[in-house]
């Protein structure tokens, strides 16, 4: 077991890390550096084709021996420990990585930690409203307590740790009930964590702002708590999030007038809500 652990650690450390100026990080084996380009093989496919990326797109390269080159706007030739340029002859086919190639998005580089990433995209889903003043209002209006939701997600990644886990903040405004001729606005501000695996899972919590009816049917602003959990599927540089959000019922105490004109204090609940929201978002910077 100790031997296997040693081999595993050695394999991980025997790779070069190419950090791009857009924050992406490539695990690679650098084979050649020219005045304008860096040639490398993907570390997970060392027998595959040689790839080429322009030096103008590279922020830095951290080599397997621990040395590091930081590139600026002036072309730079990497130097070995013997102070000799690295040039390797290659007879294999070369695959060009264009400057706009954003296939890699592990979000774990030093550069990514210094530069926040933002994402945005549409969201669509459904919300079920449990028994309470909101559901009572819908019933009186002849509406269903299952309503559609349409909105937009704005996401920022606050930090990323070495294992790929990210701190996120999200703002999601929504409009509900349009399929039933209603306009029910709400907004959620979420702070949470997202895992760093290929199919990342996330959990977030924050305030929910809604316009909901009271026991008399008067629509007014309400503040509550929202708990959200979900996962994301990634294709290229586009994320496809799937989330469940739960808003607990909010209670209130109101003075209700009786038939004889006297007042009685009664307790009311808005009713809890649960939503399934899906969509997609793309990286903005």
Each residue's pLDDT tens digit, 194-218: 887 666 789 999 999 998 887 777 8
Cβ partners under 8 Å of residue 74, min gap 6: none
**CA dist., res. 277 & res. 229, Å (int):** 11
| pLDDT for 285 | 53
**CA dist., res. 281 & res. 18, Å (int):** 25
- Output the pTM of the full model: 0.58
| pLDDT for 65 | 86
Model confidence band, residue 110 (pLDDT cutoffs 50, 70, 90): very low
Q: What is the pLDDT of residues 23-34, one digit of tens each?
A: 788 889 999 988
Q: Judging by beta carbons within 10 Å of its beta carbon (0-12, 13-18, 19+), is residue 171 exposed, middle or buried? A: middle
Average pLDDT estimate for 176-186: 94
Q: Write down the domain spans for the chain.
A: 2-113, 116-283
Domain topology for 116-283: Porin (2.40.160)
């Amino acid at each position: 077991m100790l031997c296997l652990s040693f081999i595993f650690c050695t394999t991980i450390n025997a790779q070069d890390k190419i950090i791009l100026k857009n924050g992406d990080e490539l695990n690679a084996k650098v084979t050649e550096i020219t005045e304008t380009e860096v040639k490398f093989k993907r570390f997970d496919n060392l027998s595959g084709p040689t790839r080429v990326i322009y030096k103008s797109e590279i922020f830095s390269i951290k080599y397997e021996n621990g040395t590091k080159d930081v590139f600026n706007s002036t072309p730079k030739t990497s130097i070995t420990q013997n102070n000799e340029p690295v040039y390797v002859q290659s007879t294999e086919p070369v695959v060009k990585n264009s400057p706009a190639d954003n296939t890699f998005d592990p979000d774990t580089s030093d550069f990514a930690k210094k530069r926040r990433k933002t994402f945005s995209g549409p969201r669509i889903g459904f919300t079920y409203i449990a028994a309470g003043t909101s559901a009572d209002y819908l019933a009186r209006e002849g509406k269903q307590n299952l309503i559609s939701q349409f909105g937009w997600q704005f996401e920022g990644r606050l930090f990323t740790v070495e294992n790929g886990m990210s701190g996120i903040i999200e703002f999601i405004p929504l409009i509900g009930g349009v399929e039933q001729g209603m306009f029910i606005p709400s907004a959620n501000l979420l702070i949470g964590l997202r895992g760093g695996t290929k199919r990342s899972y996330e959990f977030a919590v924050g305030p929910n702002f809604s316009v909901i009816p009271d026991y008399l049917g008067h629509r007014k602003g309400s503040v509550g708590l929202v708990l959200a959990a979900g996962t994301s599927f990634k294709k290229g540089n586009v994320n496809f999030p799937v989330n469940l959000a739960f808003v607990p019922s909010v209670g209130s105490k109101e003075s209700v007038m009786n038939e004889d004109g006297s007042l009685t204090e009664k307790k009311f609940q808005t009713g809890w809500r649960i939503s399934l929201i899906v969509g997609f978002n793309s990286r903005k910077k």
